[in-house]
Structure 1
Amino acid sequence: MYTYKTKGVCSREIKFEIEDNKVTKLMFVGGCDGNLTGLSRLVEGLDVNDAINKLKGIDCGGRGTSCPDQLSKALESYIEASS
């Protein structure tokens, strides 16, 4: 399981696995449980690159990032680490 430490959001970290270039077993630690559980269910099964494209740049309350944006960064970090 890959773990990413978030920055600038309520959640503290994101954990996930990638199988056949698809996001699986996605969970957020901390943050808004209902919203992040919903986000996890929507993203699980998506192609990694599709998920990045859909989530990158989403802002929360003028923070310059959000939990979805942090997930896109986590997925990009995973791609870089596995190259």
Structure 2
Amino acid sequence: METFVYRPKGVCSQQMTFTMDGDIIRDVKIVGGCAGNLLGISRILKDKKISEVMEAFHGVRCGMKATSCPDQIATALQAYAKQHNMDI
């Protein structure tokens, strides 16, 4: 298991901490943002593969913003995969 910390950009949340087991997300903790929504998202992500989360979350926007917390989760997972030379 490995911990990966990501600082999102352009959203209310301030930090995303992922517990990763290869390409499987075991846990996510998000600081800041809409607490209830992000807790729900964190629970949904448990034991999911990076690829399925990226497919579902990439490009989601929040209101008039160019990004959202789900989109930033996809960006974080993309960065993790790149850092670990994963072909996602």
Aligned equivalents of 1:44, 1:56: Cα separation in 2: 17
Corresponding residue to 1:82 among 72, 81, 84: 84
- Which runs of no fewer than 5 residues in structure 2 stay unpaired? none
Name the SS of the counterpart of 1:16 in structure 2.
strand
- Which runs of no fewer than 5 residues in structure 1 stay unpaired? none
| Aligned residue pair count | 83
Residue pairs, 1:4-83, within 5 angstroms: 4-83=6-85
Cα displacement string for residues 38-63 of structure 1 (whole angstroms, at most 9, x for unaligned residues): 00001111111001000000000110
TM-score (norm 2): 0.90
Identity of aligned residues (%): 35
Name the SS of the counterpart of 1:53 in structure 2.
helix
Cα displacement string for residues 14-68 of structure 1 (whole angstroms, at most 9, x for unaligned residues): 1002214211120111111100000000111111100100000000011010000
- Cα RMSD over matched residues? 0.8
Quote how far apart the aligned CAs of 1:71 are: 0.1
The runs of 4+ residues in structure 1 deviating greater than 6 Å are none
Aligned equivalents of 2:59, 2:41: Cα separation in 1: 15
Aligned equivalents of 1:81, 1:49: Cα separation in 2: 15
Q: More displaced, 12-21 or 34-43?
A: 12-21
TM-score (norm 1): 0.95
